[in-house]
Amino acid sequence: MKFRYAKYGHVLRPVIPVKLRYKSQETGYEVLVDSGADMCLFDAGIGEAIGIDVKKGIMKTVLGVGGKSSVYYLHKIHIDVGGWEHEIEAGFMPNVSGHVMRHGLVGQTGFFEHFIVKFDLLKEEVELTQQGKK
């Protein structure tokens, strides 16, 4: 499955659409496919939109690229990428999107463990294949 890179001014980024589901509630969301991210992190507001009481999750901290420590809360949810659905554990963090970024991010745990990811900047596309499937 292939997705076009998104343009942000003069910058291209591998941002793809996904659906996030918790119990019976779901919402569409855009995420940056980030091979440098340890895990999946989404905005707390997205978690609340699908019925999660975000602060009741397991509280953890993460260091960003600038060395700033941020708090997030772990929850089990389902992520749907082009019809391929997986249960994952994801972090929900206040202000992941909206203020700094417009989207969440998917990383090693919860995303790359389920997909083979091919980045092609020249073609401006990211290609996903489910692990174990051709």
Q: Give the per-residue pLDDT at 101.
A: 63
Q: Per-residue pLDDT for the chain (134 aa), expressed as one digit of tens each?
A: 999 999 988 999 999 999 999 999 999 999 999 999 999 999 999 999 999 999 999 999 987 777 778 899 999 999 999 999 999 999 999 866 545 567 899 999 999 999 999 999 999 999 999 987 65
Give how many domains the chain has, as a whole number: 1
Q: Give the per-residue pLDDT at 66.
A: 74
Cα separation, 91 vs 31, whole angstroms? 13
The pTM of this model reads: 0.89
CB atoms within 10 A of CB 10: 5
Q: Give the per-residue pLDDT at 94.
A: 84
CATH for 34: 2.40.70.10
Domain of 39, in residue numbers: 2-130
Cα separation, 91 vs 72, whole angstroms? 6
